[in-house]
Chain A
């Protein structure tokens, strides 16, 4: 199993450009989520999904869009990139959204917006 994979690993965008961060998992997990990691702030939840066709907003959803057409994939779209979106982005998945279930994280995408 590859686990949770993310592409690209690094990306530089200009302000106003759009792009999609890819996330895939091969563990047949129903629950997937996107976090951003900023220095001194830990990880903050952007969007999450409890299954194909179902998504919801997390703590910091503005400027991001998601969809979940398959169990395996959960792409994150930046509609019009801003310097404030410079961050490291992590995708995670879990077999169940319940309280005690471990989340498995991908290796991250480091995004710089100039």
Chain B
């Protein structure tokens, strides 16, 4: 079945460092891909999405490109802030909107 694999965390960075969180997927069809973020004590929020190959999703300085040839959707940000500390989930959408999530990657940004 479909699956999502994320790099293991936690990831600890200094403020203004470059961030990459790797995400690869397995799917039989043509899924949509998402990054959700969970701040401490809160539910998940959509960060960005891409719906077809070569699409780039972007929001709040974060970017991810849907790479069908490498089945990847890596999350990047050029300069992280302390406020970016959270858990990041990569997910794909099957038919009927069922989300399949990766295991989540904890990001901690230190001042």
A residues apposed to B, CB below 8 Å: 4, 31, 33, 35, 40-45, 48, 50, 58, 90, 92, 94, 96-103, 105-108
B43 contacts chain A at the CB level, 8 A cutoff: yes
B residues apposed to A, CB below 8 Å: 4, 31-32, 34, 36, 41-46, 49, 51, 89, 93-104
Contact present for B43 and A102 (CB under 8 Å)? no
Contact present for B51 and A105 (CB under 8 Å)? no
Partner of A97, one of B44, B51, B97: B97
Residues of chain B lying within 8 A (CB to CB) of residue A92: 44, 99
Additional A-B contact list (17), CB under 8 Å, known A48-B97, A94-B97? A40-B103, A42-B89, A42-B101, A43-B44, A43-B99, A90-B43, A92-B44, A92-B99, A97-B97, A99-B32, A99-B97, A100-B49, A100-B51, A102-B46, A102-B49, A106-B43, A108-B43
Contact present for B99 and A101 (CB under 8 Å)? no
Q: Tell me the minimal C-beta distance from B2 to chain A in angstroms.
A: 11
Contact present for A45 and B99 (CB under 8 Å)? yes
| Given A99-B32, A107-B43, CB of A43 within 8 Å of CB of B89 | yes
Residues of chain A lying within 8 A (CB to CB) of residue B104: 42
Residues of chain A lying within 8 A (CB to CB) of residue B89: 42-43
Contact present for B43 and A103 (CB under 8 Å)? no
Contact present for A103 and B97 (CB under 8 Å)? yes
Contact present for A103 and B45 (CB under 8 Å)? no
A31 to B36 alpha-carbon distance, docked (Å)? 18
| Given A40-B103, A43-B89, CB of A4 within 8 Å of CB of B97 | no
